[in-house]
A and B are shown apart, each in its own frame.
Chain A
Amino acid sequence: MTDLAYLSVAGAADLIRARRLSPVAYTEALLERIDRLDGRLHAFIRVTREAALEAARQAEREIAAGNWRGPLHGVPFALKDIIDVAGVATTAHSKVLIDNVAAADAPVTARLRAAGGILVGKLATHEFAIGGPSFDLPWPPAVNPWGEMRFPGGSSSGSGVALAAGMVPAALGTDTGGSVRNPASMCGIVGMKPTYGRVSRRGVLPLAYSLDHVGPMTRTVRDNALLLAIIAGHDPDDPGSADVPVPDYTAALDAGVKGLRIGLVRHFYAEDMQAHPEQAKAVEEAAAVLGRLGAEVREIRLAPLSDYAACTRLIIRCEAFAIHRRWLAERPGDYGDLARQRILDGAAVSAADYIDALRLRARLTHRTLAAFTGIDAVLTVSSMDPACRIDDAEACARAYPRQARQPFNVTGQPALAIPAGFTEDGLPLSLQLVGHPWQEAMLYRIGQAYERATGWVERHPPGL
């Protein structure tokens, strides 16, 4: 069973295509694992067992008939529960939307299903992708499998946990202020926030329209590239979607980093904030690894983290409050305390301050892109610290702003979080690669070279 639990999408695809692995047997095995583990990890809001088995049987018939659709055909996946699936409730992990049955698939859901993916369920999130971890909601918060009662990050918490625990090989999350990369960092998996406009957000419950991204979460860089290839593309009915051609994300995956120029943003974790020493050391060692592999790594400077943080927080607060105002007026008691507080925060921001935050965003974006001139990508930290205890509310609150992800929600650039080792206590460490707009393929190329050189993705949580 362990082999199937930690099979990659690419590995499963090879076996399924060669008819050495049955999609039905694979799906049944992962459903059994979910049954066994989810009582303590709480990654899932809802498991769509019967629909999953039916889809697996259909995939098996199609593949047997010679109609293999691609690398996701017959492979289980799961979705953060703010993404619509026709006929299934999109709850956002909230009492407010507990009966909110979606009428249609979100385009990202439809794309994954059209590629032959087997949806096995909807995953836990921080309430409305903003208020967590919380213990006053209809479902408990997801728990990180890497340590006893450890915080898995968020808000795509269930996605991170399900991947790390070997429940699924692929999932989607969303990222408004870091919510794909945070659980990726805490759970020791791979998470991509693509360029703003790269992936449709239609049918995905918004947190802040101008900062929201949907992104793939996987256990390996290659799998992430395969998943992004399926969900990327223009959606004329998403006002934020961009009509930019989608490249082959795997074409240059194994091209290595020799000759690439990588900017190291050290001041984020050594001046603006002081990262946990083991986390800072992991990024420095990653820079050395990439240097040994032939990249030219040199230090560059961006704006201070505090500038990006103020900008992001003001925009999220205002846009989230605008989205939630009617529900908050009618049913304030149906929100958990944390989400209510964070959304109410937007009620108190003046229109002029919101406009100034948007003007600051333009300035920061212009200056950040200018600093990327002459380099292929940036290397920096994702989280400043490894996972704290989930039942320590103060520690979780302290951890929330100690990150370097928000700058790239502000600028809309693609950013990839990948595993970068472990603390002495066995908790995952991570790094972040950031690229030019639409250059996700470059991040995958660098990430793949680092992943192959280090092998961190081969380690899985003990005791499962």
Chain B
Amino acid sequence: MTIGKEEAGRLALAAGLVRLDDKHLAQVARAIAGARELAAQLPKDLHWSEEMALVFRLPASEGGRK
């Protein structure tokens, strides 16, 4: 899939990347194509009840009134 410079420019702008030159924008275009390819490899049968792996936990014994 070919991604145009215009689409790459829009994504870069949205991401706050305002100082990219043409070589960098070509890399953004490759990133867009790669992201679509990877997303297509995600399983289609993830059920809503399957939550994400936790990386945030509150301490077990802290907080609240004693």
Contact = CB atoms under 8 A, between A and B. Distances in A.
B11 A348 contact: yes
Contact of A350 (B21, B24, B31, B39): B39
Contacts of A317: 35, 38
Interface string A330-343: 11110001001100
B53 A210 contact: yes
Contact of A330 (B19, B27, B34, B51): B19
A332 B17 contact: yes
Nearest to A340: B27
Contacts of A323: none
A226 B63 CA distance: 38
Interface in A167-226: 209-210
Interface stretch (A43-51, A266-274, A357-365): A357-365
Contacts of B53: 210, 358-359, 361-362, 365
A365 B54 CA distance: 12
A360 B46 contact: yes
Given A348-B11, A359-B46, A209 B51 contact: no
Grouping DSSP codes into helix (H, G, I), strand (E, B) and loop, the A interface class, with mixed when no group exceeds half, is: helix
Interface residues of B, number: 30
B1 interface: no
B28 A310 contact: no
Contact of A347 (B15, B19, B56): B15
Interface string B1-26: 00000000001100111111100100
A376 interface: no
A141 to B, nearest CB: 20
Given A209-B55, A329-B18, A362-B52, A357 B42 contact: yes
A349 B31 CA distance: 8
A250 B55 CA distance: 31
A240 interface: yes
Contacts of B31: 341, 344-348
B20 A332 contact: yes
A123 to B, nearest CB: 28
Interface string A211-251: 00000000000000000000000000001100000000000
A307 B42 CA distance: 8
Interface string A143-183: 00000000000000000000000000000000000000000
Q: Which 3 A-B pairs have the closest CB atoms?
A: A358-B52, A348-B35, A310-B41
Given A333-B19, A346-B31, A347-B17, 20 more contacts: A210-B55, A314-B39, A317-B35, A317-B38, A325-B17, A329-B19, A332-B24, A341-B31, A344-B17, A345-B31, A345-B34, A347-B11, A347-B28, A348-B31, A349-B35, A349-B39, A353-B35, A355-B52, A356-B42, A365-B53
Interface of B: 11-12, 15-21, 24, 27-28, 30-32, 34-36, 38-39, 41-43, 46, 50-53, 55-56
12 contacts: A239-B56, A317-B38, A332-B20, A341-B27, A344-B27, A346-B31, A347-B15, A349-B35, A350-B39, A353-B42, A358-B52, A363-B43
